[in-house]
């Protein structure tokens, strides 16, 4: 093999170049290290400052403006929540009612339980601000016990349970809005004359309790009740719900008294009562008519009249359990009249049967012994009475038939 030989001068030069290269490499590493250190020292504060500025720009200070607005409203203004905000006239209070559910009807006591949303809108001239001074805040929510509230209550006899802690939404112009849930237990003047095809009207009268029309002027937002969230009842069908404003004046006082009355027109769901009451009443009426077609002296007539009398009593008791004692109904009058007719038919059948039994015994004894013409008088008298009872049965059949047809036509006509 061959070996490479380098002169001593060349080797010294190569060693010098290697040393210089190592020095330059070391210097370059130091420069890179210094640049890295300087980049950390300068970039971290800039990044931190940028993130802080971004967080500051996106942070919401709305609650601070709410607090400042609240303090300015109640500590820098002359405000008294016990005094109505009057200015050149009464306070116009706009009312609205949204019916939710007719929960329960106590027909014996004529009490209805109603659920719904109630709203009030008015303007308080003492509460206003410039939204630009509060970062564009144009409305605020305030507790109801910190502002003046209109004393609008239910004037009809009954009780009202409401969400008294409902907040008030206040705009920068002083427009106040309050929404709260109501549970109303009120007395309705119900008419049961055409039960079970009756139609009822339940009124809810709202007015100011302490103030007349010169202080508070109630108005309605619309002429009808909001039924968008109404849940239909199983007992009554809501036909119509309207709102009416009344202005009443009395001779004693020059001030007007204003109220908003909501009238709920209801119609009973009568399908169940048609099967439980109307159909049995009609069938029982046909049976009463059938009794007058039987012979007056038949024993079966007495038995049938007795069963009909018991059936009428049971139906009348069931009707009394549903309708209050003060409720005068056509169906109740029909049952009472049918009881009287059935009782008269029973007495007539008993008397006729008794006379027929005596006539049969007299005829049997006359077959044993000889009788003269005078002995025929009791039998002739019996025949005359029997014909009279037949005429009575016919008259009762005609009268009860007319009453039965007319009463049935009235009830079914009311249904239609």
Better-scored residue on pLDDT, 298 or 254: 254
- Residue 412: what pLDDT? 64
- Residue 122: what pLDDT? 92
Question: In Å, what is the CA distance from 347 to each residue of 65, 271, 302, 342?
Answer: 92, 37, 8, 9
- Residue 22: what pLDDT? 64
- Positions of E strands within 172-252: 175-187, 199-208, 216-220, 236-250
pLDDT over threshold 70, residue 356: no
Q: Are 203 and 263 in contact (CB under 8 A)?
A: yes
pLDDT over threshold 80, residue 9: no
Percent residues over pLDDT 70 in the chain: 70
The mean predicted confidence, pLDDT, of the chain is 75
pLDDT over threshold 70, residue 246: yes
**Dihedral angle over CA of 350, 351, 356, 361, nearest 10:** 100
Domains of the chain: 71-269 (2.70.170.10), 272-415 (1.20.58)
- Residue 59: what pLDDT? 41
What would the mean pLDDT of 268-292 be, rounded to a whole number? 85
- Provide the token pair at 294: 């039987």
What would the mean pLDDT of 218-240 be, rounded to a whole number? 84
Q: Are 127 and 147 in contact (CB under 8 A)?
A: yes
What would the mean pLDDT of 109-116 be, rounded to a whole number? 85
- Residue 381: what pLDDT? 57
Map residue 211 onto helix, strand or coil.
coil
pLDDT over threshold 70, residue 158: no
- Residue 218: what pLDDT? 92
pLDDT tens digits for range 65-78: 777 887 777 766 56
- Residue 43: what pLDDT? 44
């Amino acid at each position: 093999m061959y070996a490479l030989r380098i002169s001593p001068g060349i080797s010294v030069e190569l060693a010098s170049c290697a040393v210089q290269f190592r020095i330059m490499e070391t210097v370059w590493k130091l420069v890179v290290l210094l640049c890295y250190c300087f980049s950390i020292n300068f970039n971290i504060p800039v990044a931190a400052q940028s993130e802080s500025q971004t967080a500051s720009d996106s942070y919401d200070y709305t609650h601070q403006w709410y607090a400042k607005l609240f303090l300015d409203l109640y500590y820098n203004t002359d405000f008294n929540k016990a005094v109505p905000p009057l200015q050149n006239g009464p306070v116009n209070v706009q009312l609205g009612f949204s019916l939710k559910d007719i929960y329960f009807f106590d027909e014996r006591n004529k009490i209805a339980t109603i659920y719904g949303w109630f709203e009030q809108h008015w303007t308080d001239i003492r509460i206003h601000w410039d939204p630009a001074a509060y970062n564009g805040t144009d409305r605020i929510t305030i507790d109801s016990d910190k502002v003046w509230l209109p004393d609008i209550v239910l004037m009809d006899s009954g009780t009202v349970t409401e969400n008294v802690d409902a907040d008030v939404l206040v705009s920068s112009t002083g427009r106040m809005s309050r929404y709260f849930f109501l549970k109303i237990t009120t007395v309705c003047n119900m008419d049961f004359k055409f039960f079970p095809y009756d139609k009822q009207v339940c009124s809810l009268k709202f007015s100011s309790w302490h103030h007349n029309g010169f202080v508070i002027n109630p108005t309605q937002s619309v002429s009808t009740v909001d039924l968008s969230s109404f849940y239909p009842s199983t007992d009554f069908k809501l036909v119509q719900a309207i709102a009416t404003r009344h202005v009443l004046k009395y001779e004693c006082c020059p001030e007007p008294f204003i109220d908003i009355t909501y009238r709920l027109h209801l119609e009973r769901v009568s399908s169940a009562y048609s099967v439980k009451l109307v159909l049995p009443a009609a069938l029982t009426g046909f049976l009463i008519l059938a009794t007058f077609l039987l012979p007056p002296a038949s024993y079966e007539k007495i038995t049938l009249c007795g069963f009909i009398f018991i059936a009428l009593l049971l139906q009348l008791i069931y009707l009394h359990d549903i309708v209050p004692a003060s409720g005068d109904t056509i169906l109740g009058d029909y049952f009472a009249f049918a009881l009287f007719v059935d009782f008269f038919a029973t007495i007539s059948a008993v008397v006729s049967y008794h006379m027929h039994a005596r006539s049969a015994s007299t005829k049997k004894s006359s077959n044993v012994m000889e009788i003269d013409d005078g002995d025929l008088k009791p039998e002739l008298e019996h025949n005359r009475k029997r014909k009279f009872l037949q005429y009575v049965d016919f008259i009762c059949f005609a009268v009860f038939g007319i009453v039965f047809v007319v009463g049935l036509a009235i009830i079914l006509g009311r249904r239609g």
